Amino acid sequence: MNEKIEKIIITVLQELGEELEKESLENPTAQTRLFGGRGVLDSLALVSFVTDLEDAIDEELGQSVVLADERAMSQKTSPFRSVETLRDYIAGLLDG
């Protein structure tokens, strides 16, 4: 399941990168920093990314998730720090 989730995240990042013309999003990996220090997304791009990602998860996995809620924002380590942390957070939501 983690591989599927990571593939969805990376695909959405690449599509957003094309839309925003950001070369830094051409080849994201699990270690790509998303938001925060050295992150490739600013706050507006993060909102767009989260919305697109929620839609993609629903389409690809047939499960609805809300990624930007109180639970995500209250985490000691932000799930939006990297592709890897976001993948693990989404996997937890889908299992939960």
Q: What is the pLDDT of residues 56-76, one digit of tens each?
A: 999 999 999 999 888 887 788
Cα torsion angle, 80, 47, 33, 17, sign: positive
Cα torsion angle, 16, 83, 7, 52, sign: negative
Structure tokens, 58: 């629903």
- Give the mean pLDDT of the chain: 93
Q: Are the CB atoms for 43 and 73 separated by under 8 Å?
A: no
Q: Are the CB atoms for 51 and 44 separated by under 8 Å?
A: no
Kindly report whether the global pTM for this prediction surpasses the value 0.85: yes
Q: What CATH number does residue 35 fall under?
A: 1.10.1200.10
Rg (alpha carbons) of the chain, rounded to whole number:
12
Structurally, how many domains does the chain consist of? 1
Boundaries of domain holding 79: 2-95
- Phi and psi angles of residue 83, each rounded to the nearest 5 degrees, phi first: -60, -45
